[in-house]
Amino acid sequence: MLPFALLQGAIKLASPTELSGFLGSVERRAYKQALFAVHNEHTALDIVQDSMIKLAEKYGDKPAAELPLLFQRILQNTIRDCYRRQKVRNTWMTLFSSFAPKDEDADYDPLESLEDSENRSAPAMPDESLQQSRIIAIIEQALGELPARQREAFLLRYWEGLDTIETAAAMGCSEGSVKTHCSRAAHALAAALKAKGVEPP
């Protein structure tokens, strides 16, 4: 009597509705994570789509409770794969760049525009919202400039709400490393806010 009833209750597999709900709840954060990592909207969207497809194809029938950790592992691995491809591409680009004419706009960083509090083309906002937007922009920029492992640990731990053990499992490292990465990331974010003259939230 015991095994079947217990087993059915304990191993509740994710239905398409549950998977859809899970993906819907995580897709924006996943996109932002990818965007912080690769600084390109199209690439970030590709990463999220690839991760979703891998989750649905390979682990779509796993219990719903396992989906968050599985998805984060897939997402982080997909981001790392993208880094590797970029590295190979950059090697070739560097090789051929000496033959191409110098591009004047090559050093333009679109994130710089996020800091532009003097931008008068932006719609008028209340002071508090404006200040908050500025803080968000600074935080996002600082996150984008963090070393990949620190950013990964910080976002998984504090934004995705994984505990230290789950974060370590998703990152494929020890719990001690997770704590170190999180601490350094928090310190770097605080320093970035201080450098911009913003009170840490």
Partner 1 sequence: MNTNTNPQPINPERIAVLLTRAAGQLDAGTVTALRRARNIALERQAQRKPAFALSTGHGAHWPAPHSSHQWAATAILLMTVLAAGMSYCHHADEYETSHLDVAILTDDLPMEVFVDR
Residues making contact with partner 1 (CB under 8 A)? 16, 19-20, 23-24, 27-29, 31-32, 41, 45, 48-49, 52-53, 55-57, 60-61, 132, 135-136, 139-140, 154-155, 157-159, 182, 186-187, 189-191, 193-194, 199-201
| Token pair of 52 as six digits | 């979703």
CB of 104 to partner 1, least distance (A): 28
CB-nearer residue toward partner 1: 41 or 115: 41
CB-nearer residue toward partner 1: 83 or 159: 159
CB of 2 to partner 1, least distance (A): 25
CB-nearer residue toward partner 1: 45 or 148: 45
CB-nearer residue toward partner 1: 101 or 123: 123
CB of 23 to partner 1, least distance (A): 5
| 3-state SS assignment for residue 63 | strand
Compute the distance between CA of residue 74 and CA of residue 30 in angstroms, rounded to an integer: 11
CB of 18 to partner 1, least distance (A): 11
CB of 88 to partner 1, least distance (A): 20
CB of 32 to partner 1, least distance (A): 5
CB-nearer residue toward partner 1: 27 or 145: 27
**Sign of the torsion angle spanned by Cα atoms 96, 97, 99, 100:** positive
CB-nearer residue toward partner 1: 168 or 192: 192
**What is the DSSP code (8-state) at residue 60?**
T
Q: What residues have CB less than 8 Å from 90, skipping those under 6 apart?
A: none
Q: Cβ–Cβ contacts within 10 Å for residue 194, how many?
A: 11
Residue 147 host element (H or E): none
Angle between helices 127-145 and 16-38 (to 10 degrees): 80
Compute the distance between CA of residue 194 and CA of residue 197 in angstroms, rounded to an integer: 5
Q: Compute CA 83 distance to the chain's CA centroid, rounded to the nearest angstrom.
A: 13
